[in-house]
Each structure stands twice: as structure tokens, then as C-alpha cells.
């Protein structure tokens, strides 16, 4: 497997992940106390949708492009609008030529008292991310493997925030590394919000990950969300992906119950997509 950000920028999986991220950060705005965002595998920050990688897969055409044209209900519009407004801010009026990655989306939602730490070891992607952030004093890009950075940067001095764990799944043991990395970080910062992204190609691998994470976190504190744009084929392109949200804001599950049904049609391929939203159990 290889889910490097450049090939999948703006895909259905990005749309779901980033809507969740924006809802969490919006919730954190409710208190004036500062928060920190820690992105363990940050990527390049901004992706050219006319570039070779994005054009090769074309996943943004059935992801963000469709959502931007979709008609949403009055209940869903205000929940999704902050995310879509951020995407539009990187594009010309009525155009879609670029897609922001997690660090740039998070940066848009930082207040003056908040901060961002983004880990990226790939030289090209790291250079692009540094350029995209333009020496931003609130955003720090570090040349550090995300699995090393996770336990190194928690707990943050702010004591509030989000850890996004979104590796490229290039290694065969990435699910195991994710569970171990989360366990290390959670042991040091059990009150943080953690968002773990994963490709849902193997039911055994995803169930094992969810069960292990749920066994580490307090009971009832892990929200499991999976979305399929089409039936997943073992050797096919990614059409199912999931998130484990540890210590989710109390508002998040209800918000996603409103949002997800309305994403099934625009993000579905050859028919409506499907979603799963539940509390993960050990």
C-alpha cells in the first residue's frame, strides 16, 4: 500500500478526514485557552490538482470537486462551510486548482495563541511545506520521523489540542506501528484528542487496530468512522477509509450523523457511498 498525500489530495478520504479535523478545531475555539495541533506525517501542505500525481489518480474529481458542487441541507451547510471556505481560500473564484493538506487546513484555524507542529522527513515534501507556511511563527516544520515525533511532542505546553496520525502506509507493519505510536503518545498525554487515519482494505487489520486503540483509551472514548465510496476490492484502488477519534469532542458524533448521510451520494462512485459510525470497543 502507498497512500502518499500527493496522489490522493482531495479524494473522498481527504474530504472526510478534513471535515472531521475542522469540526474538532472549531470545537476547540469555544474556549480561549490555547491549543496545539501535532501532525505526525504532514506532507507537502498544498497540492497542485493539475500536477502529475493528482492527475494520475484523478481522485479529487470524485472527492472535493463533487462536494463543492453538491446541494446540502440547511442543517449540514453550516457544519461543512468552514472546511469548504478553507479549500476555496486556496483557489481562484469558482475554480478548483489546488487542495490544502492537513497542516494548512489546521493553520487556517489557529488563533494567535495557538500553534502547529508538523513532522515531515521526505526532503521534497518538507521543503514545499516550509515554503507554504512562509516562516510562520505559529507553525513549526520538523525533520523528524512521525513515529519518533509522536512521543517527543506530547504533552504540549498548551495541554489542549489534536494529534493527527496519517502515515502513508508504505510499510507492511504500518497498522502495528500506528497502534504502538498511539500507545506511546497516549501514555504521556491521555487528555489529548487523537485522530488516526487508516485505509480500510483489510477488515482484520482495521478491526484489530480499533480494538487495540479502544483497549488503551477509556471505555466509550473512541469514535470509529468509516466511509466507502464503493465496495472495496482487495487489489483495487482505495475506496474505503476510516478514522479513529480518541477523546472526541462531545458534539462530534452528532455532527457527523448529520453530515455523513449527505456525503453518500456526492462521494459515491457508481451509486451511493456508505458510512459506519460507532463507538469502538476493545
Among this protein's residues, is 166 annotated catalytic? yes
- Look at residues 192, 239, 184 and name the one whose alpha carbon lies nearest to residue 212: 184
Q: CA 179 to CA 129: how far, in whole Å?
A: 26
pLDDT score at 94: 86
Task: Quick: pLDDT tens for 228-282.
Answer: 998 887 777 889 999 999 999 999 999 999 999 999 999 998 777 899 999 999 8
CB distance 148 to 180 below 8 Å = no
> Has residue 107 got a pLDDT over 70?
yes
Task: Quick: pLDDT tens for 131-172.
Answer: 999 889 999 999 999 999 999 999 999 999 999 999 988 888
> Has residue 222 got a pLDDT over 80?
yes
What's the Rg (C-alpha) of the chain? 17
Domains of the chain are 5-279 (3.40.50.150)
Q: CA 33 to CA 10: how far, in whole Å?
A: 31
pLDDT score at 231: 82
| Annotated catalytic residue within 85, 166, 173, 235 | 166
Q: Could you tell me what percent of the chain has a pLDDT over 90? A: 82
Prediction pTM value? 0.95
The whole-chain average pLDDT of the chain stands at 93
- Look at residues 3, 27, 12 and name the one whose alpha carbon lies nearest to residue 253: 27
Amino acid at each position: 500500500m502507498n497512500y502518499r498525500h500527493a496522489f490522493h489530495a482531495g479524494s473522498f478520504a481527504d474530504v472526510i478526514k478534513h471535515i472531521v479535523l475542522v469540526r474538532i478545531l472549531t470545537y476547540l475555539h469555544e474556549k480561549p485557552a490555547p491549543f496545539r495541533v501535532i501532525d505526525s506525517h504532514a506532507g507537502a501542505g498544498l497540492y497542485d490538482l493539475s500536477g502529475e500525481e493528482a492527475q494520475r489518480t484523478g481522485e479529487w474529481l470524485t472527492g472535493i470537486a463533487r462536494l463543492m458542487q453538491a446541494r446540502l441541507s440547511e442543517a449540514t451547510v453550516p457544519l461543512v462551510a468552514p472546511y469548504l471556505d478553507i479549500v476555496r481560500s486556496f483557489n481562484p473564484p469558482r475554480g478548483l486548482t489546488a487542495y490544502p493538506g492537513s497542516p494548512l487546513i489546521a493553520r487556517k484555524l489557529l488563533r494567535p495563541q495557538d500553534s502547529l507542529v508538523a513532522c515531515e522527513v521526505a526532503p521534497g515534501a518538507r521543503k514545499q511545506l516550509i515554503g507554504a507556511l512562509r516562516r510562520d511563527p505559529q507553525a513549526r516544520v520538523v525533520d523528524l520521523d512521525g513515529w519518533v515525533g509522536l512521543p517527543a511532542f506530547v504533552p504540549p505546553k498548551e495541554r489542549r489540542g489534536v494529534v493527527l496520525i496519517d502515515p502513508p502506509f508504505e510499510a507492511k507493519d504500518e497498522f502495528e506501528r500506528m497502534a504502538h505510536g498511539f500507545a506511546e503518545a497516549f501514555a504521556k498525554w491521555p487528555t489529548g484528542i487523537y485522530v488516526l487515519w487508516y485505509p480500510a482494505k483489510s477488515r482484520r487489520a482495521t478491526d484489530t487496530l480499533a480494538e487495540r486503540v479502544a483497549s488503551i483509551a477509556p471505555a466509550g472514548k473512541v469514535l470509529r468512522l468509516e466511509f466507502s465510496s464503493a465496495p472495496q476490492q482487495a487489489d483495487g484502488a482505495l475506496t474505503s477509509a476510516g478514522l479513529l477519534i480518541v477523546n472526541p469532542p462531545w458534539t462530534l458524533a452528532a455532527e457527523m450523523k448529520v453530515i455523513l448521510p449527505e456525503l453518500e451520494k456526492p462521494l459515491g462512485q457508481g451509486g451511493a457511498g456508505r458510512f459506519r459510525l460507532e463507538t469502538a470497543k476493545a
